[in-house]
């Protein structure tokens, strides 16, 4: 009788262990997926805010603002107070690869800065709202069969138009 009792304890222990594992493993996987989705949301938010910050600062410094008819590109000319003789042109262009921000010196024609925002950006539209220049940024990301969407509307007014 005592020999069978040890086997019964072992089977009972294995059963209890499998119950704990059957609860813990899905819980761990769900927590891991939620952490991955949260980090993807944070990356999208960070990218949208970075574009928005550049956009606002460029528009504030702009003396000339040109928006394409389809709203997919924006051209700004700005003069920096520290160097009044040097004008720079800032171009935002939505391409199939993403949004390109290109800064070039107008007097020399050379590109001084070029940045491609490509990771999750799916759309950008520029427009006018009175004196303000507006931008709508659309970002999306697919992960684990879920679609994450993030939209950011921003606007800025040029100091020269005030």
The residue that leads in pLDDT, 84 or 10, is: 10
The residue that leads in pLDDT, 155 or 5, is: 155
User: Is residue 61 domain-resident?
Assistant: yes
Mean pLDDT (the chain) is 85
Q: Label residue 5 by pLDDT band (50, 70, 90).
A: low
User: Is residue 59 domain-resident?
Assistant: yes
| pTM listed for this prediction | 0.76
Overall domain count for the chain: 1
Tokens 């970002």 label which residue? 139
Q: Residue range 12-17: average pLDDT?
A: 80
**DSSP-assigned letters across all residues of 62-115:** EEEEEE-TTSSEEEEEEEETTEEEEEEEEEEEEETTEEEEEEEETTT--EEEEE
Among the ranges 6-15, 24-33, 46-55, which has the highest mean pLDDT value?
46-55
User: Is residue 15 domain-resident?
Assistant: no
User: Is residue 11 domain-resident?
Assistant: no
Domain that includes residue 38, residue range: 29-161
Q: Where do runs of H (alpha helix) occur along the chain?
A: 2-61
Residues written for the chain? 162
User: Is residue 134 domain-resident?
Assistant: yes
User: Is residue 12 domain-resident?
Assistant: no
Q: Residue range 99-108: average pLDDT?
A: 84
User: Is residue 10 domain-resident?
Assistant: no
């Amino acid at each position: 009788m005592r020999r069978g009792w040890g086997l019964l304890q072992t089977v009972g222990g294995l059963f209890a262990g499998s119950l704990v594992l059957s609860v813990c493993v899905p819980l761990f996987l769900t927590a891991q997926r939620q952490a991955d989705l949260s980090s993807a949301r944070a990356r999208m938010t960070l990218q949208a805010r970075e574009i928005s910050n550049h956009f606002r600062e460029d528009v504030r410094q702009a003396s000339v603002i040109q928006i394409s008819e389809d709203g997919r590109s924006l051209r700004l000319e700005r003069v920096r107070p520290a160097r009044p003789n040097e004008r720079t042109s800032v171009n935002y262009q939505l391409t199939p690869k993403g949004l390109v921000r290109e800064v070039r010196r107008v007097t020399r024609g050379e590109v001084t800065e070029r940045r491609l925002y490509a990771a999750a950006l799916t759309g950008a539209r520029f427009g006018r709202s009175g004196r303000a220049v507006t931008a709508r940024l659309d970002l999306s990301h697919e992960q684990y069969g879920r679609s994450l969407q993030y939209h950011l509307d921003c606007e800025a007014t040029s100091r020269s138009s005030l």
